Every structure is written in C-alpha cells, then in structure tokens.
Amino acid sequence: MLCDLCNKNQATVHLTEIIDEQMSELHLCEECARKKSIQMEQQFGLADLLAGLAEFAKPEETADAASLKCSNCGLSYKEFKRVGRLGCGECYSSFRKYLSPLLKKIHGATQHVGKFPSKVTVKTKKKLSLAELRMRLHSAIEKEEFEEAARLRDKIRELEKDEPK
C-alpha cells in the first residue's frame, strides 16, 4: 500500500484521525509520518501541556527536581518538562515521585487499567487484583490512612487464602 500523502513510498504507519467526530484513516510512509507528527505536535502542544501540568508541583519539589537526572539516559527532569518527552523507560522510575501526580492529573490514575482479553484466566485476574490491592495498601500506609490499610490488608489475606501454594 502506498503512502496517502506522497503516493511514492510504502505505507508503514497507519493513523486513525478523529476530527469533529469524523473518523479517517491515514496510511503513511515513515517520512510523511514524521512530518505529520511534527505538525500535530505544533498544533496540540503536548510538551506545553505536560510542562504546564508539571508546574502544579509544590515549590520544594520543583527545587529538588531541578537536579534530578535519569540514571540510564541522563535526561534531567528540567529537560523533560521543557520537551514533554521521557528519554527511556528508566525515566519513569527516576522521576516517579514527580510523574505519579502528573499522570494522575492527566489520566485520573497512575496505573494503566485496560480491558482484559476474553480468554484471561481467573488466576491472572486474581493476580492483577492482588497487585492493585497491594499498591492501594502501600498508598494508604504512606498517607497514614490506617483504617483503609487494615481493610485492604484483610482483603489481600482473603484472596491469598484461596490461592494454591
């Protein structure tokens, strides 16, 4: 399939655009996709959006974050705020303290919760449920919400009791 824009190169990138509730598909070559990406970024200003949301951080956190760098790629938190892109997967761990509130503002949660394939086993669902409960327990303990932590602990114990050893 040829690129929809240049009609010369093989289309390797497939985009679905929704503009004014009208859906259209674009099949692009790498070069045209790169140009389209730059154009979309200029219109949408993703970096500005992320940087703006990151500015909601507490002043003492911002001062601390200024010196923070990813141990893997060397990207600084300041540079991330300027560019709006992380350098590598390790950046999530390096900047976790500052990314978690930002992701929560953007997505409403700090962990992706998607749909399950219909063939997911009960064991897998239970494992994911336990992981989520443990995260919530950890969060409740950090916030010193001990009644909630006790409730979550009991739920975890109940689920673990049913698990085969």
Output the pLDDT for position 86.
83
Distance between CA atoms of 34 and 5, rounded to whole angstroms?
12
Range from 28-37, 56-65, 78-87, 100-109 carrying the lowest mean pLDDT: 56-65
Place 59 in a pLDDT band, splitting at 50, 70 and 90. very low
Average pLDDT over residues 103-110: 66
Whose tokens are 């996709």? That residue is 33
Output the pLDDT for position 115.
64
pLDDT digits (tens, 9 = 90+) for 150-159: 999 999 998 8
Place 22 in a pLDDT band, splitting at 50, 70 and 90. confident
Average pLDDT over residues 95-105: 76
Place 138 in a pLDDT band, splitting at 50, 70 and 90. very high
pLDDT digits (tens, 9 = 90+) for 34-51: 887 766 655 555 555 555
Residues in the chain: 165
